[in-house]
Amino acid sequence: MIVELLIIAVLVAVACAIPGVFLVLKKMSLISDAISHSVLLGIVVGFMLTHSLSSPLLFIGAVITGLLTVFLSEVLVKSRLVKEDAAIGLVFPALFSIGVILVSRYTGNVHLDTDAVLLGELIFTPLDRLTFMGRDLGPRMIWVMSIILIINLAVLFLFFKELKLATFDEGLSASLGFSPILIQYILMIDVSITTVGAFDAVGSILVVALMIVPAATAYLLTDNLKTMVILSIIIGIVASLLGIAFSWIIDASAAGGMAVMVGIIFFFTFLFSPSRGIIVLKKRRKNQKIEFAIKMLVVHLLHHSNTKSELEECREQHLLEHINWEPRFAKQVVQKAKKDELVTDREGILILSKTGINMAQESMLR
Amino acid sequence: MDKNWAIDAEDITIAYHDKPVIWDVDMQVPKGVMMAIIGPNGAGKSTLIKGLLGLIPLTAGDVKVFGESYKKVRKKVGYVPQRTAVDWDFPTTVLDVVLMGTYGRLGWVKRPRKEEIILAHEAIEKVGMSEFANRQISQLSGGQQQRVFLARALTQNAEIYLMDEPFQGVDATTERAIISILKELKNSGKTVIAVHHDLQTVPDYFDWVTLLNVRRIAGGPVKEVFTKENLRKAYGGRISFLEDKSE
Amino acid sequence: MFDGIFSDYTLRIVSLGAALLGITSGALGSFAVLRKQSLLGDSISHAALPGIVLAFMITGSKNSFILLIGAAIAGWIATTFILSIIRNTRITSDGAQGTILSVFFGLGLLLLTYVQSKPNAAQAGLDKYLFGQAAALLPEDIKSSAILGGLSIIIMIIIWKELKLLTFDPDFGQSLGFSSKLIDYLITALIVIAIVTGLQTVGVILMSSMLIAPAAAARQWTNKLGSMVILSSIFGAIAGIFGAVISCIIPNLPTGPSIVLSLTAIVILSLLFAPDRGVISSMIKRYNNRFDFSLQKLLLTLWNLEKKHGGEKRAHDSLTISFTQPGIKNVNTALLALEQKGWVKKDPKGNWLLSEEGRIKAINIEKGETL
């Protein structure tokens, strides 16, 4: 049972992480947030028609509402009556509201209630078995998520090149014959299907956490699309397993635990990522500031060497007044420049050395 | 620190992180001139204007306006941002936008009164937009939008005007109207500095020019510094169309 | 249905609460929409959930004021995180918002389920903050939202001029010496307050609609900021009252979704029927333009026919005329419209010819005049 449950969690995490990469890169994270809200309507309508949460009709309903969200938002934007952010913010709450009202009025307590909408019921997913001619084939969820995972992987491999192009340069990929709109819609269908699949396990809203956050975290760690996909998957798996363990210990919702864990991983990456973490970034910016200041100093000196104003402009004292650096910072810069033998001091006037002149000329070439 | 300079900028460097957009630029602008800032795309012209106004922090350097720091003489400085910098679908009227020019004098919280409204109407009339005073701004053409921005700056009643691309995307009539207003300003002793794109019109419109390409290439009276040589320095090889014009 | 469970008193409290909420969020939402920060409100309101639950866990109190302070703090922290991610990494604003929104909301749900698992009845009712429950509003709740909402609207009125200036043209405003950072902080704080005051009624998940929808609807009816803010408040209040009261009357109808659907109805009506900007009005305008254009063409044709016959004022039957007008679908309607203007006449045989006036008009059109 527990193994099956963990398998389900891992499958959900991996299936969500894959489209997430493209959502983050294509700056469409909030569209996926919108879709995850509004697919509820499709799920509920499907459920009301079939009285089953396992009917394929639910997927069709969800895909339709997912696409409807995107389509309606685009219609609003094209009408130029509202701006893009407001358009999205008008459409998905409306569709979601209809869904919530249907859930609470007509389906109440029959396998589908607002808790299921928000949190999913991961613990119960292994109980729903798939049987074939009297033989137990394992939890239905494993089959469903495996199929979705295969679809996501297929989308990933089939469109990897195209998505890479579309992600980095929409104009270019359009001119090469791949319609960015088509790719966008395929991606949106994929997001809708994945959301419905993951619905049982983590509810429709927290799907967003498993889609966006692993990808956003990976984006802070690598510049390579392939690595980013793999990292997102790993982060998703680790977060969901830790999250389940954590939520068992404190006896709370597994979906909430998974979202919090992936958030914690993101937070630590945000602070400590060796390439883009805040701490490294702050240190690098400080170094850059001094290095840049030295460049600025040599360029300034070069500008004014051999001119009438040299005596005035190249005095150390002048730098303090005119370049408007703080005295301590200016001293630091001049000292570093002297140490690097870029300038020499002749009675308070700074003279460029040969290396200094070279550096100044190189800097000006940009 | 000469008070005769309208603007005295020394050693200005502006950088985003470690990428310099403006490199160690000195620029002195005498009072009462009409100066164009020209240079190729990405030369840092808009950045320079914004740096002078304190809208972007200077990485290094110092700006004096009439010998004082900008903060002290803010009220003597009028600004015309790029027309495309704002959302023209904003729910407001021409009069309302022009009135914004008086906000600086009013300070926090105080509202414009009759006096300011009269001032705004005068400015609107000056740019030939009287019949549009109550028009919603989204219904204006590009040229009309630019006139509104100019009118707003006029209500600032400044001594020096900094303009970012005031002729971009405007019709010929508007361009003529704007230039005649600017010349009028200059004749009444005001200083005008404009980022400009069209090299052909520089000698007709302006009497002073600064050539910029990250660094300052040259600056001074148009007759002296608007030369083939300087233009080539600023624009690289992309200047052939001017060959027979600039001398 | 009124009697029994719900007294007039309850409905009055509910309506008052919903109206206050609608006014506050409608007014401040206008600025959120104009500053293109609509979805920031969504992030802030989702992120408020852990603040509510934590405030309960720390104080053990369910006093709405204490819980809402927790919500405001959490919303503020979330905003700071979002801005810090945007500023310091290459993750764009959508990714930052999606990340913070979902993680904070997940944390809220985790804490909520944790609290609920404790054998302690005190926590009952916290989940009304998810979808809102107007029927549970108490007079104290109305008082605190009246104070907070009133305060934020007063601040808005005091700094009205600055809000307008820095929303429209921040660079220019800053060149005049107004600090755009200060205004950014103020407006964000006001929006946080507006969100927080609505959480009990609308819930964290749908609260952003209270900011976006009234403003988006109001924008269609007016071209002035002042009227937009007032109208947005009115729309917010109407939808708030309507949605809240209905949700009290009909069982199993959560308040948040009920209010959101009322708002959506207002938005749809506005988009369709607003004069000038509305879809129908611009369709009519486009149709009129096209019709005017076809009238113009028809008039010219008649004039050209006349010229071809050497100026002889001959009448033509509509069939002949329609052969010369392949672009116009209904020549008869167009002819009748021209007749109404007095530019064409029908002779006794039912054939059409230009009137004196119509001839002058046609000559003018030839010179480039339009109708």
Which of C171, C178, C180, C225 is most worth mutating to test chain B (most B CB atoms within 10 A of its CB)? C171
Q: Are A47 and A110 in contact (CB under 8 A)?
A: no
Q: CA of A250: how far to CAs of A3, A8, B114, C55, in Å?
A: 20, 21, 67, 19
Q: Which has more confidence, C180 or C242?
A: C242
- Tell how far CA C239 is from the center of its chain: 12
Q: Give the global pTM.
A: 0.85
- Kindly determine whether residue A213 and residue C131, on different chains, have CB atoms separated by under 8 Å: no
pLDDT given for residue A261 in this prediction: 96
Q: Which residues of chain B have pLDDT under 50?
A: 1, 240-247
pLDDT given for residue A331 in this prediction: 81
Q: Does residue C201 carry a pLDDT above 90?
A: no
Asked if the C-beta of A281 comes within 8 angstroms of chain B's C-beta atoms, the answer is: no
Q: Which residues of C touch A278 (CB under 8 A)?
A: 84, 88
Domain residues for A339?
A: 279-365
Q: What burial letters (b/e) apply to C237-257, b meaning 16+ CB within 10 Å?
A: bbbbbbbbbbbbeeeebbbbb
- Kindly determine whether residue B90 and residue C225, on different chains, have CB atoms separated by under 8 Å: yes
One domain for residues A268 and A283: no
One domain for residues A97 and A128: yes
pLDDT given for residue C315 in this prediction: 74
User: Which tokens is A224 given?
Assistant: 């390579």
- Burial (CB < 10 A; 0-12, 13-18, 19+), residue B188, is exposed
Q: Which residues of B touch C173 (CB under 8 A)?
A: 100, 103
Domain boundary residue among A251, A276, A301?
Answer: A276
- Tell how far CA C150 is from the center of its chain: 22
Sign of CA dihedral B78, B84, B85, B91: positive
Give CA–CA dist A269/A276, Å, rounded.
Answer: 8
Query: For residue B110, what is the DSSP state?
Result: P
Of A291, A303, A325, the CB nearest to B24: A303
Residue A172: pLDDT band (50, 70, 90) is low
Strand partners, B35: B193, B208
pLDDT given for residue C58 in this prediction: 92
Q: Does residue A124 carry a pLDDT above 80?
A: no
Strand partners, A345: A350
Strand duo B208-213 + B34-38: pairing: parallel
Per-residue pLDDT reduced to its tens digit, C255-294: 889 999 999 999 999 999 988 888 888 888 888 888 888 7
Listed range (C127-131, C168-172, C270-274) with the worst mean pLDDT: C127-131
A140 closest CA partner among A50, A49, A248, A11: A11
Residue whose structure tokens are 């852990």: C50
pLDDT given for residue A176 in this prediction: 56
Q: Which residues of C touch A88 (CB under 8 A)?
A: 38-39
User: Which tokens is C362 given?
Assistant: 């046609």
pLDDT given for residue A175 in this prediction: 57
Q: How many domains does chain A have?
A: 2
Per-residue pLDDT reduced to its tens digit, A97-111: 999 888 888 765 555
Domain boundary residue among A228, A258, A276?
Answer: A276
pLDDT given for residue B244 in this prediction: 44
Q: Which has more confidence, A233 or A251?
A: A233
pLDDT given for residue C358 in this prediction: 80
Q: Which uninterrupted H or E stretch holds A287? A: helix A278-304
pLDDT given for residue A330 in this prediction: 79
Residue C209: pLDDT band (50, 70, 90) is very high
Of C98, C113, C130, the CB nearest to A33: C98
Q: Does residue A135 carry a pLDDT above 90?
A: no
pLDDT given for residue C1 in this prediction: 45
Q: What are the backbone angles phi and psi of residue C238, rounded to the nearest 5°?
A: -60, -50
One domain for residues A257 and A334: no
Q: Does residue C24 carry a pLDDT above 50?
A: yes
Asked if the C-beta of A51 comes within 8 angstroms of chain B's C-beta atoms, the answer is: no
Query: Which conformational region is residue C315 in: left (phi greater than 0), alpha (psi within -120 to 50 degrees), or beta?
Result: beta
Instruction: Give the whole-number percent of chain C exceeding pLDDT 90.
Output: 39
Q: How close B74 comes to chain A (CA, Å)?
A: 20
Domain boundary residue among A246, A276, A306?
Answer: A276
Residue A129: pLDDT band (50, 70, 90) is confident
| Mean pLDDT on A135-161 | 86
One domain for residues A136 and A213: yes
Give CA–CA dist C9/B213, Å, rounded.
Answer: 73
One domain for residues A158 and A225: yes
Per-residue pLDDT reduced to its tens digit, C232-253: 999 999 999 999 889 888 888 8
Q: Which has more confidence, A245 or C297?
A: A245
One domain for residues A212 and A285: no
B34 closest CA partner among B174, B163, B218: B163
User: Which residues, in sequence order, are CB contacts of C355 under 8 Å at separation 6+?
Assistant: C342, C343, C344, C345
Asked if the C-beta of B61 comes within 8 angstroms of chain A's C-beta atoms, the answer is: yes
Give CA–CA dist C23/C231, Å, rounded.
Answer: 9
What CATH number is associated with residue A315? 1.10.10.10
Q: Are B128 and B151 in contact (CB under 8 A)?
A: no
Per-residue pLDDT reduced to its tens digit, C138-150: 888 888 888 989 9
Q: Which has more confidence, A237 or B21?
A: A237
Q: Which residues of A touch B24 (CB under 8 A)?
A: 296, 299-300, 303
One domain for residues A270 and A340: no
- Tell how far CA A100 is from the center of its chain: 27
Domains of chain C: 2-276 (1.10.3470.10), 281-366 (1.10.10.10)
A178 closest CA partner among A192, A156, A159: A159
Q: How close A10 comes to chain C (CA, Å)?
A: 18
One domain for residues A238 and A156: yes
Q: Cα C203–C206–C211 angle (5° rounding)?
A: 105
| Mean pLDDT on A62-88 | 89
Instruction: Give the whole-number percent of chain A exceeding pLDDT 70.
Output: 88
Per-residue pLDDT reduced to its tens digit, C310-364: 766 777 777 777 776 666 667 777 778 888 877 888 777 777 778 878 878 778 8
One domain for residues A161 and A286: no
Asked if the C-beta of A156 comes within 8 angstroms of chain B's C-beta atoms, the answer is: no
Asked if the C-beta of B215 comes within 8 angstroms of chain A's C-beta atoms, the answer is: yes
Give CA–CA dist B164/A265, Å, rounded.
Answer: 45
pLDDT given for residue B247 in this prediction: 36
Q: CA of B46: how far to CAs of B15, C321, C365, in Å?
A: 13, 60, 47
Residue A332: pLDDT band (50, 70, 90) is confident
HSE of B163 in the Cβ direction (CA atoms, 13 Å)?
Answer: 27
Asked if the C-beta of A158 comes within 8 angstroms of chain B's C-beta atoms, the answer is: no
Q: Are A40 and A99 in contact (CB under 8 A)?
A: yes
**C-contacting chains (≥3 CB pairs under 8 Å):** A, B
Interface of A with C in 118-177 (CB under 8 A): 118-119
Residue whose structure tokens are 């051999």: A306
What CATH number is associated with residue A13? 1.10.3470.10
- Burial (CB < 10 A; 0-12, 13-18, 19+), residue A346, is exposed
One domain for residues A168 and A272: yes
Q: What is the average pLDDT value for chain A, to the nearest integer?
A: 83
pLDDT given for residue C99 in this prediction: 94
Per-residue pLDDT reduced to its tens digit, A286-316: 888 888 888 878 877 877 776 666 666 667 7
Which of A97, A247, A281, A285 is most worth mutating to test chain C (most C CB atoms within 10 A of its CB)? A97
Q: Are B158 and B190 in contact (CB under 8 A)?
A: yes
| Mean pLDDT on A34-56 | 84
Residue C52: pLDDT band (50, 70, 90) is very high
One domain for residues A182 and A99: yes
One domain for residues A109 and A181: yes
Listed range (A10-24, B7-21, B180-194, C45-59) with the worst mean pLDDT: B7-21
- Kindly determine whether residue C168 and residue B79, on different chains, have CB atoms separated by under 8 Å: no
pLDDT given for residue C2 in this prediction: 46
